[in-house]
Structure 1
Amino acid sequence: MSPTLIIVLLSMLLGIQPVATDLYLPALPAIKAEFGATLSQVQLTLSALLLAFGTSQLVWGPLSDRFGRRPILLWGLGTFTLAGLGCVLASSMQELIVWRALQGAAMGAVVMCARAIVRDLYTPETGAGVMSKALTGLGFLACASAPLGGLLTDLWSWHAALSLVMGFGAIALILVALTFKETVHRKNPHALQVKVLAKTWWHIVRHPTFVAFTCVSIGSYGGLFTFLASSSFVFINLLGLARWQYGLLLFSMAFTYLLGTVLCRRLLARFGVTQTVAIGGVFSLVGGGWMALNAWLGGQSVVSLMGPFYWFILAHGIHQPCGQSGAVGPFPKAAGAASALGGFLMMVAAFITGLWLGAVQDGSALPMAQSIAFWSVITALSAWLLVLRRGGPRV
């Protein structure tokens, strides 16, 4: 595969996550109204997807180390597309939650393989740059997803928005089937043995480099998930934005993330991985702390909330390429298992955050701001006390 094809494929595979979430975020109030559901039930369509996404990776990772990335990708994308059809045809909130959970489980295979492919083909230092380019492609997909979701929901219904999610899965399936070449040249025949698997996971979870970079990824994604789970209700219901205006707001957020991935490559070339992550930690803390301060002082407007969050999401564009590539760097022979374990831990944190947000929602922006501030502190401390002290990825 050519370098350009690899970046395109990685962008599609990694981009399936924001497509599955961002496209239907503007439709959440419409889903709530149509089914007469509670806020916590509606948020469960996102939390269940992400919990299944994270948990399934513990299965997909060892399977991909044993049988290769290509068959797992084909199974994952095929199931994602079929589950997408179930979402479109869902006639109750319970059905929608079940289909979204299945879609999340299938998505786990796709994203896990994408992260492992980077380690299959590149060293940890080079992989951070490649991941950054792929996540720039993800940024373009995220930019388009929210406005399209809002537009489709306004013109037709939330079913149309979820139809596009299904269509993206089908396109990715065809692209992988036609162009992807296996990247695991020496499959591990023992990868699925219980003793070997337990030993591998124990080795991974105890590795200081894995812990350091995974904590950065968890903190940064926790803040992003908070925004994804809460923002439609804050900006549409509380602040009165139209769905298409909220879609443009998400576009601006995704564009800022895209700029973060570009900035990441510039910082990597000049400072290296550890200093780049440390700089990102400053941005994260400034954004989260500033947003919480505004909310505590009663500033609940689009400017007072989004202005600080742009700093946080800019840092997210720095942390995710470095965090995801750095976490799997020490494990060239178990990249699938390491990618799966990191993804699982990120989604567990997101699921717990979703439950907390559903329990404390009070009709204001304060719960969202407080949660983002909490995760910004976790991100910054992980960057400064763990990554910076480790001195970078070690193989």
Structure 2
Amino acid sequence: MAPFDILASLAMDIFLPVVPAMPSILNTTPSMIQLALSLYMVALGVGQVVFGPISDRIGRRPVLLAGGALFAVGSLGAAWSSTAEVFLYFRLVQGTGASAALVATFATVRDVYASRPENAVIYAWFSSMLAFVPAIGPVAGAIIAEALGWQAIFLTLAALAVLVVGHALFRWHETRPVIEAERRPSVLPILMSVSFWVYTAGFGTGMGAFFVFFSTAPRVLIGRAGYSEFGFSLAFATVALVMIATTRFAQAFVGRWGVAGCVARGMGLLICGAALLGIGEVYGSASFFTFIIPMWVMAVGIVFTVSVTANGALAGFDEIAGSAVALYFCIQSLIVSSVGTLAVTLLDGDTAWPLVCYATAMALLVSSGLWRLRSWALRQGALPQADSQ
């Protein structure tokens, strides 16, 4: 499953080094190239709402294979594009394929590991991979573009997609639960579920904090702290390494604290990290100690959170896991892209304040939701022992 998860993120990050040169290459404006980034993200998020229900009806395997093939076609088309309009079209195709593959991947996790302790480890590893790809993707893209040209970036993505789909043809078996047509449930209960919204917002809080960090870190460390591009890459990578190291203990802390306990602690760590960032911004100057080390604290909180939010949000929706996963990722992507971008735009993106404000506000919102869920469970006498911690 991992290569599909990685490719979806890599298609965004590996392209970043050539973005400044693309307007002259395709004889267009910078805004059109920015649209290529935005269209990919839109297709990645919104497409899941379409492919989720489809995977519930026809299965995960055909959606996954079709999505991987579509991603390869979009990558090839982008490589051979000679105009901005054609390039935008194939980026949209590429994002649509990635969206289908992601839905099928995470629905499969839900199908197979919903009631097993390994699910927290798998979700945590996926999140750590997504954290590490932005650290290595731009470097890889720069090396490929310098040696072989910008088209080679998309040819590389196409080749990787072909390899991944070829492997899945033989190793990826259908996991969708068999449901009789007359018993096929509606998706309305998903949208009516308070726990779905609370835990989906929790996932959006964790990944959104990383998104805001990713958006502001170059401006803070390179622009203000004077880091070189290589030095910045090393500092950035330490955050991903902290997330990966924390992932090794995911199964243990889920077993000890439960889903709600892990998310609550994750929100607490995000607030603590935000407080340290704020102190560094007020009393210090931009540096590794005032920006990266507080982010280590937040990175641990992100792993605590994203390791378990899928279980909390999707519990009880096993028969329509594809639709539930699609709504889960679509809504959290809207939270990340809208609220996260708003924070970076309205506040000073050259400082830590966007990250401080986003993490604090969203963590407090999710914490209030957890308190409401806990109060309801106590009234119903249904609070599990682990979650009571």
So what's the TM-score if we normalise by structure 1? 0.80
Residues 1:361 and 1:213: Cα distance change in structure 2 (over 3 Å): closer
When Rg is computed on C-alpha atoms for both structures, the one with the higher figure is 2
User: Does structure 1 residue 287 correspond to structure 2 residue 270?
Assistant: no
Contact 1:27 1:150 in 2 (8 A): yes
Q: Which residue of 2 aligns with 1:336?
A: 322
Cα distance in 2 for partners of 1:286, 1:36 equals 47
Q: Which residue of 2 aligns with 1:350?
A: 336
Q: Which residue of 1 aligns with 2:143?
A: 151
SS of corresponding position for 1:272: helix
SS of corresponding position for 2:263: helix
Cα distance in 1 for partners of 2:99, 2:159 equals 18
Q: Which residue of 2 aligns with 1:174?
A: 166
Q: Which residue of 2 aligns with 1:78?
A: 69
SS of corresponding position for 1:333: helix
Deviations 1:151-198 (A, max 9, x none): 33454554444443333322221121121000014056479xxxx7xx
Residues 1:137 and 1:241: Cα distance change in structure 2 (over 3 Å): closer
SS of corresponding position for 2:248: helix
Contact 2:13 2:133 in 1 (8 A): no
Tell me which of 109, 120, 126 is aligned to 1:128: 120
Alpha-carbon shift at residue 110 of structure 1 (Å): 1.3
Cα distance in 2 for partners of 1:254, 1:216 equals 19
Q: Which residue of 1 aligns with 2:40?
A: 49
Deviations 1:42-89 (A, max 9, x none): 554333222211111111000000000000001111111111123333
Residues 1:33 and 1:284: Cα distance change in structure 2 (over 3 Å): farther
Q: Which residue of 1 aligns with 2:380?
A: none
Q: Which residue of 1 aligns with 2:193?
A: 207
Alpha-carbon shift at residue 274 of structure 1 (Å): 1.8
So what's the TM-score if we normalise by structure 2? 0.82
Residues 1:122 and 1:355: Cα distance change in structure 2 (over 3 Å): closer
Cα distance in 1 for partners of 2:329, 2:354 equals 20
Q: Which residue of 2 aligns with 1:5?
A: none
User: Does structure 1 residue 387 correspond to structure 2 residue 370?
Assistant: yes
The aligned runs of 1:2-151 (5 Å cut-off) are 9=1, 11-31=2-22, 43-91=34-82, 94-124=85-115, 126=117, 127-135=119-127, 144-151=136-143
Q: Which residue of 2 aligns with 1:314?
A: 300
Alpha-carbon shift at residue 116 of structure 1 (Å): 1.1
Alpha-carbon shift at residue 281 of structure 1 (Å): 1.3
Number of residue pairs aligned between Structure 1 and Structure 2: 376
- 1:168 counterpart letter in structure 2: L
- 2:100 counterpart letter in structure 1: A
Cα distance in 1 for partners of 2:59, 2:281 equals 48
Cα distance in 1 for partners of 2:31, 2:240 equals 25
Mean CA deviation greater in 178-187 or 384-393: 384-393
Cα distance in 1 for partners of 2:28, 2:276 equals 33
Alpha-carbon shift at residue 204 of structure 1 (Å): 0.2
Q: Which residue of 1 aligns with 2:356?
A: 373
Alpha-carbon shift at residue 319 of structure 1 (Å): 1.8
Alpha-carbon shift at residue 322 of structure 1 (Å): 0.8
Over the matched positions of the two proteins, sequence identity in percent amounts to 23
Contact 1:216 1:378 in 2 (8 A): no
Q: Which residue of 2 aligns with 1:4?
A: none
Cα distance in 2 for partners of 1:153, 1:214 equals 37
Gaps of 5+ in 2: 378-382
SS of corresponding position for 1:375: helix
SS of corresponding position for 1:19: helix
Alpha-carbon shift at residue 150 of structure 1 (Å): 3.9
Deviations 1:278-308 (A, max 9, x none): 2211221222343345446673345533232
Q: Which residue of 2 aligns with 1:256?
A: 242
SS of corresponding position for 2:187: helix
